[in-house]
Amino acid sequence: MLYVIIGEDVADSLERRMSVRPEHLERLRKLQDEGRLLLAGPFPAIDSPDPGDAGFSGSLIVVEFESLEAARAWADSDPYVTAGVYKKVSVKPFKRVFPE
Protein backbone atom coordinates (compact mmCIF):
# COMPACT_ATOMS: atom_id res chain seq x y z
CA MET A 1 0.00 0.00 0.00
CA LEU A 2 1.06 3.58 -0.55
CA TYR A 3 1.71 5.95 2.34
CA VAL A 4 2.21 9.71 2.53
CA ILE A 5 4.89 10.93 4.89
CA ILE A 6 4.84 14.64 5.69
CA GLY A 7 7.63 16.13 7.78
CA GLU A 8 7.30 19.64 9.19
CA ASP A 9 10.59 21.45 9.85
CA VAL A 10 11.55 23.25 13.01
CA ALA A 11 12.32 26.97 12.61
CA ASP A 12 15.69 27.75 11.03
CA SER A 13 16.25 24.13 10.00
CA LEU A 14 18.38 24.75 6.89
CA GLU A 15 21.80 24.14 8.46
CA ARG A 16 20.67 20.94 10.18
CA ARG A 17 18.83 19.83 7.06
CA MET A 18 21.89 20.26 4.85
CA SER A 19 24.18 18.49 7.33
CA VAL A 20 22.23 15.20 7.10
CA ARG A 21 20.81 15.56 3.58
CA PRO A 22 23.19 12.98 2.00
CA GLU A 23 22.00 10.29 4.45
CA HIS A 24 18.35 11.28 3.91
CA LEU A 25 18.73 11.09 0.13
CA GLU A 26 20.51 7.73 0.31
CA ARG A 27 17.52 6.23 2.11
CA LEU A 28 15.21 7.62 -0.57
CA ARG A 29 17.45 6.27 -3.36
CA LYS A 30 17.23 2.82 -1.81
CA LEU A 31 13.43 2.98 -1.93
CA GLN A 32 13.62 4.25 -5.51
CA ASP A 33 15.94 1.39 -6.51
CA GLU A 34 13.44 -1.04 -4.98
CA GLY A 35 10.63 0.53 -7.08
CA ARG A 36 8.73 1.71 -3.99
CA LEU A 37 9.21 5.49 -4.16
CA LEU A 38 6.51 7.39 -6.04
CA LEU A 39 7.42 10.98 -5.15
CA ALA A 40 9.63 12.90 -2.73
CA GLY A 41 10.73 16.48 -2.21
CA PRO A 42 10.85 19.50 0.09
CA PHE A 43 8.45 22.40 0.58
CA PRO A 44 10.32 25.68 -0.10
CA ALA A 45 9.70 28.19 2.70
CA ILE A 46 9.02 30.88 0.08
CA ASP A 47 7.37 30.84 -3.34
CA SER A 48 10.51 29.86 -5.23
CA PRO A 49 12.02 26.59 -6.47
CA ASP A 50 15.34 27.76 -4.97
CA PRO A 51 14.53 29.41 -1.62
CA GLY A 52 18.15 30.12 -0.72
CA ASP A 53 18.62 31.11 2.91
CA ALA A 54 14.84 30.97 3.49
CA GLY A 55 15.20 27.20 3.44
CA PHE A 56 12.35 24.74 3.59
CA SER A 57 9.28 24.23 5.75
CA GLY A 58 9.07 20.45 5.41
CA SER A 59 8.99 17.50 3.05
CA LEU A 60 6.58 15.15 1.29
CA ILE A 61 7.26 11.50 0.50
CA VAL A 62 4.85 9.08 -1.20
CA VAL A 63 6.12 5.52 -0.84
CA GLU A 64 4.99 1.92 -0.79
CA PHE A 65 5.32 -0.14 2.40
CA GLU A 66 3.82 -3.42 3.55
CA SER A 67 2.03 -1.74 6.47
CA LEU A 68 1.38 1.54 8.24
CA GLU A 69 3.63 0.37 11.07
CA ALA A 70 6.50 -0.23 8.62
CA ALA A 71 5.99 3.22 7.07
CA ARG A 72 6.01 4.85 10.51
CA ALA A 73 9.13 2.96 11.57
CA TRP A 74 10.94 4.03 8.40
CA ALA A 75 9.86 7.66 8.87
CA ASP A 76 10.85 7.69 12.55
CA SER A 77 14.39 6.56 11.73
CA ASP A 78 14.99 9.17 9.01
CA PRO A 79 18.07 11.37 9.54
CA TYR A 80 15.86 14.46 9.40
CA VAL A 81 14.03 13.11 12.46
CA THR A 82 17.10 11.99 14.39
CA ALA A 83 18.95 15.27 13.66
CA GLY A 84 16.00 17.41 14.78
CA VAL A 85 15.12 18.87 11.36
CA TYR A 86 11.48 17.80 11.66
CA LYS A 87 9.32 18.93 14.57
CA LYS A 88 6.44 16.72 13.45
CA VAL A 89 6.01 13.75 11.10
CA SER A 90 2.64 12.48 9.85
CA VAL A 91 2.23 9.12 8.13
CA LYS A 92 -1.06 8.32 6.41
CA PRO A 93 -2.32 5.60 4.07
CA PHE A 94 -2.78 6.92 0.53
CA LYS A 95 -4.96 5.71 -2.34
CA ARG A 96 -3.64 6.77 -5.73
CA VAL A 97 -6.35 7.69 -8.23
CA PHE A 98 -4.45 9.79 -10.80
CA PRO A 99 -2.46 9.51 -12.89
CA GLU A 100 -3.86 6.12 -13.85
Q: What's residue 96's pLDDT? A: 96
Per-residue pLDDT tens, the chain, 100 aa: give them.
999 999 999 999 999 999 999 999 999 999 999 999 999 999 999 999 999 999 999 999 999 999 999 999 999 999 999 999 999 999 999 999 999 8
Q: What's residue 100's pLDDT? A: 87
Residues near 37 by Cβ (< 8 Å), separated by ≥ 6? 28, 31, 61, 62, 63, 64
Q: What's residue 81's pLDDT? A: 97
Q: What's residue 4's pLDDT? A: 98
What spatial distance separates the first Cα and last Cα of the chain, rounded to whole Å? Answer: 16
Q: What's residue 56's pLDDT? A: 97
